[in-house]
Amino acid sequence: MAGAGEIVREPYLVIHKDPSSFKDVYGGAGDNIAVECMRIYPAGTSAESVVIFSHPIGGGAFLPLVSALARAGQHVIYANTRYRGNDTALIMEKCAADFGACIEHARTRLGYKRVILGGWSGGGSLSLFYQDQAERPTITQTPAGDAYDLMKKTLPPADGIMLLAAHVSRAITLTEWMDPSVADEARPFERDPALNIYDPACPAQPPYTTAFVASFRAAQVARNRRITAWVQETLADLRRRGEDNAERAFTVHGTMASVCWTDPTQEPSDRRPYTCYLGEPRIANDGPVGLARFTTLRSWLSQWGYDTTNADGLGNAARISCPVLVINNTADLACTPSHARRLFDAVGHARKAYRDIQGADHYYIERPDLLPEAVKVCSDWMETESLAG
């Protein structure tokens, strides 16, 4: 029983139908997809507006900022996609469908008149992708060529988007972190010392020259494209053999090698140098929780392929019409400053705002004292855009 001034955490399920010719998640009954949601709000209150967070792999219902918004009076919902905690077979188009089911439920069953998307971290590009398709649906198949018609899904447009410590997309972020010294995916630990920034023998040492950074980044994109080409060839071969629904799982080593982690002069900010949000970058580069470490053919094309993903935050941002707030945490160890600036610049209309939270880390765990400032920025923006309620 909640007391005065407390927040209520109300878990619930949203069930929607999503037929599929093969399974890519554990459990479930037939075509029924369960979206796990949690509504967080001040006890004894009602509201006309709600902030709805989602993330491709979910798990953020207890994030400090989510709770702080609720304690400040805002109604909040956190929606976990069907891929909660496991992105190995994740399809971004299906994440959008799950997000839409939650938003539809919030409007029709819970009675909220205004919906603001809380795009935190990887939820930022998901929110932009969702809104792009909600406003002007175009997708009828996944990047792998499997039929998946978002034009037939219920995707209610949101009234605004807050991009909170968000990155531009999973595919671009992975590419900017890929280790380009891996020249052969079959021999991932035989690395080119000229591009291996963790090898003391690497001739390029920080601070890096502009020429080295340019060649390094070009090699990162080239590696992503090599994997994509192999994925497409493998899928085509399976289909030629009549195995249309067959999948293949694979491992991608070396995915935490951004020059930002080894050279603090790259994208300078208030973040601690020589580290990343997964700890020591050299260890995280091949550790078990690196981006795209375990994936599948279809999932690679949908969420990690530099040229194939539909969830391209920058492209999506250029096509949406709702107001957008971009918040950059200046000590963020995950999303470096250019991501916030690129997202802000990509929004193709004037109803947008940009704010820095000076000294804030990615999770507000190290600086919880900055949560009131972040909440005030969000609240003031919602008031300005007539989204508060």
- Residue 192 neighbours by CB under 8 Å, 6+ apart: 180, 181, 183
Distance CA 278, CA 287 (A): 9
CATH 3.40.630.30 fits 7-169+309-384, yes or no: no
pLDDT tens for 205-236 read 999 999 999 999 999 999 999 999 999 999 99
Q: Report the share of the chain in percent with pLDDT over 90.
A: 95
pLDDT value at residue 5: 62
Mean pLDDT, all residues of the chain? 96
pLDDT value at residue 30: 74
User: C-alpha distances in angstroms, 145 versus 88, 124, 244?
Assistant: 18, 25, 10
pLDDT higher than 70, residue 163: yes
pLDDT value at residue 389: 77
Distance CA 309, CA 300 (A): 8
Residue range 79-108: mean pLDDT, rounded: 97
Distance CA 27, CA 15 (A): 14
pLDDT tens for 260-282 read 999 999 999 999 999 999 999 99
Percentage helix, strand, coil, to 5, in the chain?
Answer: 35, 20, 50
pLDDT value at residue 28: 67
Sign of CA dihedral 380, 119, 99, 160: positive
Distance CA 356, CA 377 (A): 10
Helix axes 371-384, 64-71, angle to 10 degrees: 60
pLDDT value at residue 15: 95
pLDDT higher than 60, residue 136: yes
pLDDT higher than 60, residue 117: yes
Give residue 2's pLDDT band: very low, low, confident or very high (50, 70, 90): very low
- Residues of each domain in the chain carrying CATH 3.40.50.1820: 7-169+309-384
pLDDT tens for 284-329 read 999 999 999 999 999 999 999 999 999 999 999 999 999 999 999 9
Tokens of 138: 């175009």
pLDDT higher than 50, residue 244: yes
Distance CA 309, CA 125 (A): 11
DSSP 160-226: EEEEES--S-HHHHHHHH--TTB--TTSTTSB-TTT-TTSTT-S--SSPPHHHHHHHHHHHHHHHHH
Strand partners for 52: 77, 117
- Residue 74 neighbours by CB under 8 Å, 6+ apart: 41, 47, 49, 50, 51, 378, 379
Give residue 3's pLDDT band: very low, low, confident or very high (50, 70, 90): very low
